[in-house]
Amino acid sequence: MTVDQRRSPLGGLAEEFAQIAVRTGGRLRIAEQPYLRQLNVRAGADALAAAAATLGLALPTTPNTVIRTGDLTALWLGPDDWLVLGGQGPEPTPVGWGVVDVSAQRTAIVLSGPAAVGLLAHGCALDLERMGSDWCAQTMLARANVVLSGFPPDEIRVLVRASFASYLASWLLDAVMAM
């Protein structure tokens, strides 16, 4: 059996993140969700069905929405651009569409609890109070580009590029102080 030699960008902060739930009386929880499999999928309208069939879930065509099927989640990134989260295995072989395994490109920070939206408002200009459920958005959080997605009841997943993860984690920990 091979030894897992992976090291996640925020592995060293697990304990500090755990303290937040204690400090806020459970109103806010923050945790890294490392090593999430992520496929960047590119497909024109003509190849959408083929891509969906290969991937095993439909790709949302409404901007800034999410489709979840089993352990897979597809986030809309652009009119021919998706991020498919979850599942396992190597890059599928596309025919007439494109795919890149970007699992290590970003790590996921999951915020949940009733205070999550208020915390993000310190650095995110979007009107997060008025998002529906199963939404996603690419935007700025503080000085980092992020992919946000929101799920009921109060979970927001922040996908951040690995190099920015340490900065964003520091920013979040500091923002908790300002709450």
Contacts with other proteins by CB under 8 A lie at 2-3, 5-9, 34-35, 40, 42, 44, 63-64, 77-81, 98, 100-106, 121-122, 124-127, 129-130, 137-140, 142-145, 161-164, 166-168, 170-171, 174-175, 177-178
What's the min distance (Å) between Cβ of 68 and other proteins? Answer: 20
CB of 23 or CB of 56, closer to other proteins? 23
CB of 70 or CB of 103, closer to other proteins? 103
What's the min distance (Å) between Cβ of 15 and other proteins? Answer: 16
What's the min distance (Å) between Cβ of 18 and other proteins? Answer: 19
CB of 10 or CB of 110, closer to other proteins? 10
Helix 14-23 to helix 162-178 angle (10° resolution) is: 20
CB of 35 or CB of 69, closer to other proteins? 35
What's the min distance (Å) between Cβ of 62 and other proteins? Answer: 10
CB of 5 or CB of 70, closer to other proteins? 5
Determine the Cα–Cα distance for residues 131 and 127; give it in Å rounded to an integer.
Answer: 7
What's the min distance (Å) between Cβ of 70 and other proteins? Answer: 25
